Chains A and B, each alone.
Chain A
């Protein structure tokens, strides 16, 4: 798995990022090196080890679905790039 070629176009499309063609090679090189570093963990035997998703295993408390704090719509939308009558505006989706 080391030295694996990364399909950077595919990954950047999944990430919704367009990469500057001038820095494409540098990014590819950096990512390959990061993956080489990461591959070092493959020398460790993890057979029969459960993945640890969280420091306090399996615990994600839910609270009652009640409003604790009300935030004004106008206040919330102050930082939005474009709004109209409480709606967020984006370019036309259906031509």
Chain B
């Protein structure tokens, strides 16, 4: 890995004056122009805005007012509202939507001097595990263009893996940061629910959605996360979490990160074809003084059912705002108001979005509410309790991130049930509101394999620390696809 493709590497070059932010930004825009036709990772770019922000960053650096992110270009998932660029959420419904305000994540990173490089492709309204439900076409995996990059933050992951961006933002409702990070050989952090503001982040399932970084390595992910987190009065579920995370930065609590006990849930190894890579991560971490124990998560099998009821129910409610009146798509020549609503929604939404709205509406409808929605919420509590019980004895939990490496494009599009099963290792974390990270830990048929560490709430520092330790002695995170060199 060329240092000039990581946040840390770029930061050093910017600080010693080797290169300016404007030059870096121009270089990335040039790469996108020449190589993104094959990958389709970006939906919208605005050169003028990007270069303008880079020039401001260069002035900040010259004045000695740089932060760790000043001058670094960042690709943003097209789910974050931006004043200067359209925000489509991968949907025809929002094809021409320009938000009148910036999401908190966007303004925080902009205030730190980061450069908005462009908006990345994604599954429509973040509903998908393969980035094939996007209205703007599928994204291709830079490791093998006939494979999917994962989803829903597939554009963000593919852009970073292809070296079209040094880092990116993503969102994770049921695995949408970790699964694409795993499929593309990257490090993706899904933080504790409530630590990163959801203001200006288009809602899919509000009790599960959480934003986080997708980067080449854990050190970069820690830096990006440290600028994304923080209390926001505009998000009613926001939590002040800075005090937890910055313990790592100040290194005041170093013993916290040593001799960890890591739990291996039985399910992780029984259902995965990737256990050789996981045995390797176990061997490396044991060599560093950590120990592994088997743990039970008895209700974990019910995660997918519980998740699809809760996520679909919340989606059917959240997506009722798309009515063709205040913003977004409107059908041609509506006969009356009812016709306007129905045709706008039927023409504006794609197949998977409709499927989830219908599922959610069914689960919330009279006569089925208790049987589905309430039941799913009770199961959710049992799953969260399973984790609490486990964390009484272990510091972290290790699982595969995904049941397999990246699958072929179109392999699962007609089979929603099988597609949903892709999230088996990631959704329990969202249900419980916990933080988790996916890091590359091996290759199978030249496709990256991801390992997932799960921590108790607010222990992102543990996740970053153990991942950094692993990445100091291994080089999986430094490998890049041949097409990206």
Contact = CB atoms under 8 A, between A and B. Distances in A.
A3 interface: no
Interface of B: 96-101, 193-194, 207, 233-234, 236-239, 299, 301-302, 304-306, 308-309, 316, 320, 323-330, 334-337, 339-343, 345-346, 349, 351, 354-355, 357-359, 361-363, 365, 371-372, 374-382, 384, 416-417, 420, 432-433
Interface residues of A, number: 57
A44 interface: yes
Contacts of B335: 91
7 A-B pairs with the lowest CB-CB distances in the bound complex, closest first: A55-B433, A51-B377, A81-B330, A46-B378, A52-B381, A41-B305, A79-B327
Given A16-B342, A53-B207, A91-B334, A38 B308 contact: yes
B173 to A, nearest CB: 12
Contacts of B432: 55
19 contacts: A1-B371, A12-B358, A14-B361, A14-B365, A15-B316, A16-B320, A31-B359, A33-B417, A34-B359, A35-B359, A37-B305, A39-B305, A44-B299, A44-B379, A51-B381, A55-B433, A61-B238, A69-B101, A80-B327
A37 B381 CA distance: 19
A38 B305 contact: yes
Contacts, number: 168
A15 to B, nearest CB: 5
Contacts of A59: 237
A50 B380 CA distance: 10
Contacts of A63: 233-234, 236
Q: Chain A's interface: helix, strand, loop or mixed, by majority? A: loop
A29 B145 CA distance: 31
B302 A40 contact: yes
Given A31-B362, A41-B379, A49-B381, A82 B340 contact: no
